[in-house]
Amino acid sequence: MLHLVGLGLADEKDITVRGLEIVKKAERVYLEAYTAILLVDKEKLEAFYGRPVLEADRELVETGSDEILAGADKVDVAFLVVGDPFGATTHTDLVLRARELNIPTNVVPNASIMSGIGCTGLQLYNFGQTVSMVFFTENWKPSSFYDKVRENVQIGLHTLVLLDIKVKEQSMENLARGRRIFEPPRYMTVAQCASQMLETEETRQEGVYTEDSLAVGAARVGAPDQKLVVGTLKELSTVEMGAPLHSLVLLGRRTHDLERDYIRQFAVNQETFDASYAKSYGASS
C-alpha cells in the first residue's frame, strides 16, 4: 500500500501516532522535500523514526513516480508530506498513478497552514480563496493572484497568501547547459510579499488594496517560536520576522470585532492599526 502521511507544521514530533506507526513498519519512507519544509533537518526525523528517510525532490515526484511506487502493491511505502497530504499542496497525481497500477492507497491527515493559520485569531470560515506569491524577477512579475484577491475583497473575506520557496532550483544558464548545479535555497519573507503586493497594485492601479490595507504576517506557524505581526502593507514591507516559513493574510472588511481585538495585540503600531481599521474595516458582520 502507498501511505501518504501528513507531518504537521513544525518538527519531528508533529506526526500523528497513526502516521508514526506506518512509518516504522514501511519498507521505504520518502520525504517530499520541495513544496514545504519542516523546521528540523531530515536527520532529526530519521533519529525520531528510527529509520532512514529518502528525500523526494520535484524531479522524482513529478517524473519518477514509478520509482516511488515500485513494489507498493506488495509492501508498504510511506510518502511523507509537510503539513497535510491534501492541504495547501495536493498529491492527487501520485494517488491517481497508484490507482492506475492497482496499488491501494491510504491518507493520514495532519495540520496544514490552511488550518494552522487560525493561530492568528481570524475565523477560518471568513477566508476566501487562497493565493500564492512567487518571487518576482526583473522580467517576470505575474499578477494572477491579484484577481483572486479582488474577488475576496469584493465579498469582504480574508485572503491567505502562501509564500514562494525555492529548493533545488537551477539557474537558467545551468538549466540551458544541462549542468546539475543548484541554487541555494530561498524562502520568501512577509516583507518581500508585502512589497510585491504593493508593486503589483502600483502596476494594476485597480484599488484592490492600498499601502494602508491591514494584513497579518505569520512566521513558523505551529512552532514554539511562532511569530505574528499585524500592520499595514507598508509597515509589513519592512518588518523582520526571522527564519522561514512565512505566510501573510490580507484582512477582509467583514472582520469581526472579536477578530480585531485578538489581532490588535500583534500590531506594529496600535495607533496606526486603530486608524486603519476604523477607516476601512469598521463595519463588522
Residue numbers in the known binding site are 9, 84, 87, 112-113, 163, 221, 246
Give the closest residue to 221 by CA, choosing from 131, 109, 114, 132: 114
Using CA atoms, how far apart are residues 114 and 39, in angstroms rounded to an integer?
A: 17
Binding residues for S-adenosyl-L-methionine: 9, 84, 87, 112-113, 163, 221, 246
Using CA atoms, how far apart are residues 127 and 147, in angstroms rounded to an integer?
A: 16
Using CA atoms, how far apart are residues 229 and 235, in angstroms rounded to an integer?
A: 10
Using CA atoms, how far apart are residues 113 and 219, in angstroms rounded to an integer?
A: 11
Can you list the positions of beta strands (E) in the chain?
A: 2-6, 28-32, 54-56, 77-81, 105-108, 131-133, 159-163, 165-166, 186-187, 214-219, 227-232, 246-250
Pairing of strands 105-108, 2-6: parallel
In 30-171, which residue ranges form alpha helices assigned H by DSSP? 42-49, 58-63, 65-69, 92-100, 113-116, 144-154
Residues in the chain: 285
- E strand or H helix at 22, and its extent? helix 17-25
